[in-house]
A and B are shown apart, each in its own frame.
Chain A
Amino acid sequence: MAVKTLTIDGRLVSAMEGQTVLEAAQEAGIHIPTLCHLDGVSDLGACRMCLVELGNSPKLQPACVLKVAEGMEVRTNSDRLRKYRKMIVELLLSERNHVCSVCVSNGHCELQDMAVELGVDHSRFDYIYPVERVDITHQRFGVDHNRCILCGRCVRVCDEVEGAHTWDMAGRGAKSFVITDMNQPWGDSTSCTSCGKCVQACPTGAIFQKGATVGEMQKDRTRLEFIVTAREKKQWIG
């Protein structure tokens, strides 16, 4: 496969044709913030955290789905991008009820880490305080829609890695929500194999293991990587 040379933040980087800008940046040790990206499953550019500037184009592009091209000039960390990323996190925080102090993932949450990384100490937007459901009908796991950021990682990991496709997204826009089967209680789901991949994939405390209290829900992403590597490369590492 052809090698493409591009510039990321002034550094010359070479990448294989077909790779994304995010992959090229990660291999070169350049950090681009992400929320909906999960190693081992497909990318869809849902969260817009990885937006980057391209040459002289005024249009921002999501690095996770942007394929590398010869001579591409990418900037990943301008004032404008930092401003937008901060805004995205503030919007996410105001959209649902993200109360870290009572959350099972407090201290181990990707949304919380992102807020810290970007210096989000308050939200300039009014909190919506929606009334959201908590479903603890599953024997081992629970889903708290208050903490969901609609990244769709559970949907993709269930479809692409486990193959059950129990999860999907219902509704549209700000009224979207993740569902199990026919928007029925998770415990009544007939397709769920209770494998727990969605729990590990979820960036926040939205999908959690029952019995965990504040700050106790630590996700182990390496379990997913282990399975994906085994499946794709027939190598059992870890």
Chain B
Amino acid sequence: MSFSAIDSALPSSVMGGDSRYKLLETAIKRHQSQSDALIEVLHAAQEIFGYLDTDLLVHISKNLKLPLSKVYGVATFYHFFSVSPRGAHTCVICMGTACYTKGARKLSAAAEKISGLKVGETASDGSLSLMTARCIGACGIAPAIVMDGKVVGGQSEEMVTEQLKGWIEDGF
């Protein structure tokens, strides 16, 4: 992590005219730089950049005139936001009550076994991130998993293993 950018008004990538920052500017302007739009702006930043690094969070806090620690606190509170890069593929296992009683624990164990990762970790080659969520609101199709942003229900250990095996071995 670098903290060099904290003293300067803008991260160097902004000076360089990174087009992603321009998209972020648009999102911030849409909310008139209001400090209570922090979550909306973080949402936009997460979508644009894929993850929220320190420079980006400093940039957001300066634009919304918020304390650095508050922005970091909010970014780390919600599972949707990530402060480190995520893998090319993501597997989010729902641990909500319905999914849990339908065996989400077994699914996460199967996913950990095939990937060699622990929940919350990203593979060192950046191929896969394994995550859990509290409840994704898909209780009717429990146990549910979000595979690369797509919600799939009625999952079994075999199905999870198969899908992750495909990602790990062939990259799809």
Interface residues of A (CB under 8 A from B): 159, 164-172, 179-184, 188, 190-191
Query: Total A-B residue pairs with C-beta atoms closer than 8 Å?
Result: 55
Given A179-B69, A182-B54, A170–B3 Cβ distance below 8 Å?
no
Chain A residue numbers with a CB within 8 Å of B6 are 181-182, 184, 190
For the complex, give the distance between the alpha carbons of A159 and B72 in Å. 15
The 7 closest A-B pairs by CB, nearest first: A168-B69, A165-B67, A168-B73, A181-B68, A170-B76, A172-B77, A170-B73
Q: Does B22 contact A (CB under 8 A)?
A: no
B7 within 8 A of A: yes
Interface residues on B, range: 10 to 19
CB neighbours of A171 from chain B (8 A): 76-77
Say how far A134's CB is from chain B's closest CB, in angstroms: 19
Check A168 against B70 for contact (C-beta < 8 Å).
Answer: yes
Q: Is the CB of B77 within 8 A of A191?
A: no
Are B58 and A182 within 8 A (Cβ)? yes
Please determine whether B77 and A168 come into contact, CB atoms closer than 8 angstroms: no
* A166 CA / B70 CA spacing, docked (Å): 9
Question: B41 on the interface (CB 8 Å rule)?
Answer: no
When chains A and B are docked, how far (Å) is the Cα of A191 from the Cα of B6?
Answer: 10
- Pick 27 A–B contacts, CB within 8 A, sort by A: A164-B67, A166-B67, A166-B69, A168-B67, A168-B72, A168-B73, A170-B72, A170-B76, A171-B76, A171-B77, A172-B76, A172-B77, A179-B69, A179-B73, A180-B69, A181-B6, A181-B68, A182-B3, A182-B58, A182-B72, A183-B69, A184-B1, A184-B54, A190-B6, A190-B7, A190-B68, A191-B68
Q: A156 to B130: give the CA distance in the assembly, Å.
A: 35
Shortest CB-to-CB span from A192 to chain B, Å, is: 10
Instruction: Quote the shortest CB–CB distance from A178 to chain B (angstroms).
Output: 9
- Point out the residue from B1, B54, B67, B73 that lies within 8 Å of A169, measured CB to CB: B73
Which has the most chain A C-beta neighbours within 10 Å: B7, B54, B67?
Answer: B67
CB nearest to A172 among chain B residues: B77
Q: Which of B58, B69, B77 neighbours the largest number of chain A CB atoms within 10 Å of its CB?
A: B69
